[in-house]
């Protein structure tokens, strides 16, 4: 959620409604029937139900506000505030998921209306002085509260202030207007990506290899031919071609597998030049966020955004990114020279430079050549049903829990192929619920993501509201999980998003305000990065990766070849992520931007921090949606990568599936969500050495990542002493 106090970044939720008293509040408590509507919310049997869903959330929140204003003790204030958060977040999160995944246009439109209405109500909540005064009073009286409640009260007070509660009315009105504008611009940016993915028409059809035909659409054009006889008559033929839609997934496949240089160039330029409308949208978003930050007393949106995080300031983040860029550069140059040499040999050229549209193709070819990898052979061990089994192996081995398929109630699902799983522990019972929406379809969110529906929270001494999340992917092909074959990159992505889901499902915080991934951004990405390691470890893969027809266990030599291919250009991929983070940090940094317009900034950073120049006319940043959700926060992926490398090496690598490892991950890390300070959790998990302090902020130790990627012969360990 946008706004100060109640933020929703698609993070976690539960569809468990209790007919018993929901809390100790002396306000009307509603009884709910069993789930019967979309995501289990009774209101959402129809698209129009979003209207009453919002109405009831606003009504219930009003009752809770009245209760809080009757001078309640600190514990009751915190409990009631969290119920307001839970009530409002249920609407925001369900609307967000619906807007991105529902195939029915009416549902999408009603969810968008609900999202706008509830966001407007959020601005009212975040500027409510009665609530702010109650929180300040509770903070003064919080000595009897639990540590989590104290942290909750303090965070709520800070969030109110970050929302501008202390500003004069004129400035506060402007902040509210800007927040609404920012929300609308983010929505417009995402809608433009879906509505204008770009297309390229290729003739003749023979230029597109057969293994890409499933991604393209047949088209025809009329071609006039002049006969060779003396009459000179003309005849018309229909020539067959293909239309390529340059959405990110198709673009990636064409760049990887098309041997036609010109085809790759055309789809690269087109895919990185749409949607053009977002050039202006992004410019306005940067301007609005900058104005907001300045009203809040910050020099830039980056400063405003990073202040609550472990890093604390853009200065710390920039120092980290430049250190990473410097560290990775020598190896990326080696990799680039190697790839250039390979390309020249294949093309029988003595000179010529690699172009951006060549990189993926020749990397794929070089990896296949060096390690004799065939994508179809690798995919034969990773049917979607096998990979879902792999998720079950993880929770069983690490946490002693099992996933069970459970039937969906009438109107609960949004697509016939959605699955619902319960995570069950033999001693603790159900721990939470997971929807799986795994197949691509028209109009659906184009990537893979973890969406919240409800966050876990303690309702009473004996009742706990279980978390519910949705894991959304876009796997193509048949909608039979046994027939769908995933690339290993897709397997890694599935495990990454599953890490987020586990963070939510295993969270046992008292307040949904801290449930699962509701933590500071540069901490919340750690579990997802950690679980990527499980997708590469042979000891894990052999438990579920079996051949779709023979049942043969995946050979260890094949996994070693996959690992070798991954490592061939690992430095280049890391450099790309550093570049993305630098773009994000710079665009939302101090204004006016260096080098003038946005594209010039991106071009200069690309020249400085990668081995490729900018392609004139492209504006890759117009469909990099992380600029919306993680404005000035994309560095969090790199922070998480460093932390995850250390956790894997020191805790997991020796025996990744042991219950001892799982117990440590669950009890010292995952179950706490955002309820404890990140540095305290990391210290409890691994002890000293996982991070260092710099300029008041926390910076991850990078030595384990360096060792893993062999970036330097011997990383200078003295960084710990800085």
Q: Concatenated DSSP letters for 8-48?
A: -SS--B-----SS--SS-SS------S--SGGG-GGGGSTT
Q: Is 40 left (phi over 0), alpha (psi -120 to 50) or beta?
A: left
C-alpha torsion sign, points 372, 377, 382, 386: negative
How is residue 450 written in tokens?
């973890």
Output the pLDDT for position 101: 96
Output the pLDDT for position 138: 97
Alpha-carbon distance values, 597 to 151, 286, 314 (Å): 41, 11, 21
Q: Please give the radius of gyration of the chain, using alpha carbons only, rounded to the nearest integer.
A: 26
Q: Which residues pair with 432 in a beta bridge?
A: 423
Q: What is the mean pLDDT of residues 415-425?
A: 97
Higher per-residue confidence, 229 vs 191: 191
Mapping DSSP to helix (H, G, I), strand (E, B) and coil, where does residue 334 land? helix
Output the pLDDT for position 407: 95
The pLDDT-based confidence of 353 (bands split at 50, 70, 90) is: confident
The pLDDT-based confidence of 35 (bands split at 50, 70, 90) is: low
DSSP E strand boundaries for 178-286: 199-202, 217-226, 234-245
Q: Is the model's pLDDT at 27 over the cut of 60?
A: no
Greatest alpha-carbon span in the chain: 103
Higher per-residue confidence, 236 vs 434: 434
User: Residue with structure tokens 């995501």?
Assistant: 39
DSSP state, residue 208:
S
**Backbone φ, ψ for residue 473 (5° rounding):** -130, 180
The pLDDT-based confidence of 7 (bands split at 50, 70, 90) is: very low
Mapping DSSP to helix (H, G, I), strand (E, B) and coil, where does residue 699 land? strand
Output the pLDDT for position 6: 41
Q: Is the model's pLDDT at 332 over the cut of 70?
A: yes
Q: Are strands 697-700 and 457-458 parallel, antiparallel or unpaired?
A: unpaired
Output the pLDDT for position 438: 95
* Whole-number Å distance between alpha carbons of 210 and 212: 5
* Whole-number Å distance between alpha carbons of 531 and 330: 28
Output the pLDDT for position 3: 37
C-beta neighbour count of 693 within 10 angstroms: 12
Output the pLDDT for position 229: 59
How would you write 116-153 as a 3-class SS string?
HHHHHHHHHHHCCHHHHHHHHHHHHCHHHCCHHHHHHH
DSSP E strand boundaries for 350-481: 402-405, 419-425, 429-439, 449-454, 457-458, 464-465, 468-475
User: Residue with structure tokens 């966020």?
Assistant: 289
Q: Which residues pair with 409 in a beta bridge?
A: none
Q: Is the model's pLDDT at 273 over the cut of 90?
A: yes
Range with the poorest average pLDDT among 232-236, 277-281, 301-305, 703-707: 232-236
60-83 CB burial, b ≥16 within 10 A, e <16: bbebbbebbeeebebbbbbbbbbb
Q: Is the model's pLDDT at 14 over the cut of 50?
A: no
* Whole-number Å distance between alpha carbons of 123 and 165: 10
Using alpha carbons only, give the angle 191, 197, 201 rounded to the nearest 5 degrees.
Answer: 155
* Whole-number Å distance between alpha carbons of 699 and 522: 10
Query: Chain-centre distance of CA 72, in angstroms?
Result: 38
Mean pLDDT of the residues in the chain: 91
pLDDT tens for 152-180 read 999 999 999 999 999 999 999 899 889 88
Alpha-carbon distance values, 347 to 258, 261, 683 (Å): 15, 11, 53
Output the pLDDT for position 386: 96
**399 within 8 A of 393, measured Cβ to Cβ:** no
pLDDT tens for 194-220 read 899 999 999 999 999 999 999 999 999
The pLDDT-based confidence of 145 (bands split at 50, 70, 90) is: very high
**305 within 8 A of 633, measured Cβ to Cβ:** yes
**570 within 8 A of 251, measured Cβ to Cβ:** no
**672 within 8 A of 685, measured Cβ to Cβ:** no
Catalytic residues: 497
Output the pLDDT for position 228: 61
Higher per-residue confidence, 10 vs 238: 238
**Backbone φ, ψ for residue 432 (5° rounding):** 165, 180
Q: What is the mean pLDDT of residues 436-450?
A: 89
Range with the poorest average pLDDT among 4-8, 99-103, 681-685: 4-8
Least Cα distance to 497 among 515, 474, 467 occurs for: 474
Alpha-carbon distance values, 484 to 384, 490, 498 (Å): 6, 11, 19
**Backbone φ, ψ for residue 445 (5° rounding):** -45, 125
* Whole-number Å distance between alpha carbons of 665 and 720: 24
Output the pLDDT for position 717: 37
Q: Is the model's pLDDT at 15 over the cut of 80?
A: no
Q: Is the model's pLDDT at 5 over the cut of 70?
A: no
How is residue 56 written in tokens?
């009831």
Q: What percent of the chain has pLDDT over 70?
A: 93
The pLDDT-based confidence of 183 (bands split at 50, 70, 90) is: confident
Output the pLDDT for position 231: 60
Q: Is the model's pLDDT at 718 over the cut of 60?
A: no
Q: What is the mean pLDDT of residues 298-304?
A: 98
pLDDT tens for 231-272 read 656 778 899 999 999 999 899 999 999 999 999 999 999 999
The pLDDT-based confidence of 123 (bands split at 50, 70, 90) is: confident
Which residues are CB-neighbours of 108 under 8 A, at least 6 positions away? 98, 99, 102, 443
Q: Is the model's pLDDT at 39 over the cut of 70?
A: yes
Least Cα distance to 662 among 363, 438, 394 occurs for: 394
90-110 CB burial, b ≥16 within 10 A, e <16: bbbbbbbbbbbbbeeeebbeb
**390 within 8 A of 657, measured Cβ to Cβ:** no
**Which domains, ranges and CATH numbers included, belong to the chain?**
38-166 (1.20.1050.40), 197-272 (no CATH), 277-311+570-709 (1.10.1370.10), 378-567 (1.10.1370.40)
Q: Is the model's pLDDT at 446 over the cut of 80?
A: no
Alpha-carbon distance values, 217 to 141, 207, 220, 255, 274 (Å): 66, 13, 10, 17, 19
């Amino acid at each position: 959620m946008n706004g100060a106090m109640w933020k929703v970044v698609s993070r976690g939720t539960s569809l468990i409604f209790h007919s018993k008293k929901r809390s100790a509040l002396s306000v009307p408590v509603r009884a709910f029937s069993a789930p019967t509507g979309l995501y289990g919310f009774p209101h959402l049997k129809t698209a129009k139900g979003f209207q009453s869903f919002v109405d009831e959330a606003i009504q219930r929140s009003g009752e809770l506000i009245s209760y809080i204003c009757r001078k309640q003790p600190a514990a009751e204030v915190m409990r009631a505030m969290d119920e307001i958060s839970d009530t409002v977040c249920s609407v925001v999160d369900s609307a967000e998921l619906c807007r991105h995944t529902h195939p029915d246009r009416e549902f999408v439109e009603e969810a968008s209306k609900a999202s706008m209405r509830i966001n407007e109500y959020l601005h009212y909540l975040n500027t409510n002085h009665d609530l702010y005064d109650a929180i300040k009073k509770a903070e003064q009286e919080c000595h009897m509260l639990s540590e989590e409640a104290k942290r909750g009260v303090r965070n709520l007070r800070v969030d109110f202030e970050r929302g501008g509660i202390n500003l004069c009315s004129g400035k506060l009105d402007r902040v509210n207007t800007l927040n609404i504008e920012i929300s609308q611009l983010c929505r417009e940016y995402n809608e433009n990506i879906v509505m204008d993915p770009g297309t390229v028409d290729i003739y003749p059809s023979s230029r597109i290899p057969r293994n890409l035909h499933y991604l393209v659409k047949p088209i025809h054009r009329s071609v006039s031919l002049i006969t060779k006889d003396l009459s000179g008559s003309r005849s018309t033929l229909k020539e067959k071609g293909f239309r390529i839609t340059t959405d990110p997934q198709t673009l990636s496949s064409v760049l990887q597998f098309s041997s036609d240089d010109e085809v790759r160039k055309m789809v690269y330029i087109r895919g990185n030049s749409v949607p053009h409308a977002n050039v202006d949208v992004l410019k306005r978003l940067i301007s609005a966020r900058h104005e907001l930050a300045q009203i809040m007393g910050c020099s830039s949106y980056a400063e405003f955004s990073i202040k609550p995080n472990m890093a604390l300031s853009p200065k710390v983040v920039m120092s980290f990114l430049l250190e990473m860029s410097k560290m990775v550069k020598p190896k990326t140059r080696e990799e680039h020279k190697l790839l250039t040499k390979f390309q020249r040999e294949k093309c029988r050229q003595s000179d010529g430079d690699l172009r951006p549209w060549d990189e993926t193709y020749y990397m794929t070819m070089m990896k296949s050549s060096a390690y004799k990898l065939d994508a179809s052979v690798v995919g034969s061990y990773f049917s979607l049903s096998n990979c879902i089994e792999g998720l079950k192996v993880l929770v069983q081995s690490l946490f002693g829990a099992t996933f069970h398929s459970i039937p969906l109630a009438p109107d609960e699902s949004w697509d016939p192929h959605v699955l619902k799983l319960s995570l069950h522990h033999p001693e603790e019972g159900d721990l939470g619920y997971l929807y799986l929406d795994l197949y691509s379809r028209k109009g659906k969110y184009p990537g893979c993501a973890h969406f919240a529906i409800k966050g876990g929270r303690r309702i009473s001494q004996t009742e706990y509201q279980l978390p519910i999340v949705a894991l959304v992917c876009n796997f193509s092909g048949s909608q039979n999980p046994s027939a769908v074959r995933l690339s290993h990159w897709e397997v890694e992505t599935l495990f990454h998003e599953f890490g987020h889901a586990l963070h939510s499902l295993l969270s046992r915080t008292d307040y949904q305000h801290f449930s699962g991934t509701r933590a500071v951004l540069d901490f919340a990405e750690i579990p997802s990065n950690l679980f990527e390691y499980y997708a590469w470890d042979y000891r894990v893969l052999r438990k579920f990766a079996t051949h779709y027809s023979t049942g043969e266990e995946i050979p260890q030599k094949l996994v070693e070849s996959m690992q070798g291919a991954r490592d061939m250009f690992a430095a280049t991929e890391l450099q790309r992520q550093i570049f993305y983070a630098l773009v994000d940090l710079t665009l939302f940094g101090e204004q006016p931007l260096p080098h003038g317009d946005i594209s010039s900034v991106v071009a200069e950073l690309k020249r400085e921090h990668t081995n490729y120049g900018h392609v004139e006319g492209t504006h890759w940043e117009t469909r990099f949606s992380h600029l919306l959700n993680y404005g000035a926060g994309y560095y969090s992926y790199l922070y998480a990568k460093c932390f995850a490398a250390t956790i894997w090496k020191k805790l997991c690598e020796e025996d990744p599936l042991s219950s001892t490892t799982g117990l440590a991950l669950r009890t010292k890390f995952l179950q706490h969500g955002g309820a404890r300070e990140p540095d305290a959790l990391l210290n409890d998990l691994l002890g000293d050495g996982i991070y260092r302090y710099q300029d008041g902020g926390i910076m991850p130790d990078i030595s384990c990542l360096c060792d893993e990627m062999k970036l330097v012969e011997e990383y200078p360990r003295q960084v710990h002493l800085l």
